[in-house]
Amino acid sequence: MSNDSKPNEIILTPMQRGISSTTFTGRPQGMQLRETLKLDLIDLDDYKYIIRIPEGTTSFNPSFYLGLFFPSYKKLKGVEGFKNKYEIVSQEKDEELRLLLEKHLIECERQAQNEYAGRTGLDSIF
């Protein structure tokens, strides 16, 4: 498949949220899912991917997000590189919830960006 063709899909499942859970949460769980999805290998190929968040997901936690995607940020050299390769899409039908989830993802991205730049809250001191 060429770089310009239809992007591949990575579909997250409700089971990956945990039993009777509607949230993707926890850094170790994010890292575990990264291994399951073999994102370390996927980062190295030339294809584009759409990551689909399943319906009924109420929250995408920053810790989970960073556990899952932060190594990709590093490999793809920041937010731009990450966004060029991955697109995260919610499958939620409820418009309000989808917007909320998008807000969560924007916050996750902000934190990933700060982390990538190595910035901390103590920087204002120096």
Partner 1 sequence: MKKSRFINKSEEQRYQKLQELKVYKQRSRKSRRFVQHNPLNDTFYFSYGRRFQSALTKLFFSKSFIDKQHVSKSILAPRNCTFQNNYDGTILFIKKVASSMAFTYRNITIDFSKCSTTNLAPMFFIQILVFENKEFMHMYNLGSYTQINRELNIIPSKSLKVNKILNALDLIKGMPNKNMSEEDLYLPLGIKVGAKARRLIYENKKGAVCSSITKFVNESLMGIRYSLNPTGRFKLDNIIAEILGNAEDHSQINRWYVNGVSFKTGEDQMVVVELNLCIINFGYSIYEGFEDNKDKNPVIYQKLNDAYEKYRENNNKMGFLEQPLPIEPMFTIFALQEGISRLKYQNQSRGNGTMNFLRAFFDLGSLGDEFPKYKPTISIFSGKTSLNCSNKYKPVNKDGLWVLALNTESNLIGHQDTECIKYSYEYIPGTILQVSVFLNEDFFRKLTGTNE
Residues that bind partner 1 (CB under 8 A): 15-23, 25-29, 31-33, 36, 58-64, 66-67, 70, 74, 94, 96-97, 100, 104, 107, 110-115, 118-126
Phi, psi values for residue 23, rounded to 5°: -120, 145
CA 101 to chain CA centroid, Å, is 12
CA 55 to chain CA centroid, Å, is 16
Closest separation between CB of residue 42 and partner 1, Å? 18
Closest separation between CB of residue 87 and partner 1, Å? 20
Looking at residue 30, its amino acid is G
Looking at residue 93, its amino acid is K
With respect to partner 1, which residue has the nearer C-beta, 7 or 111?
111
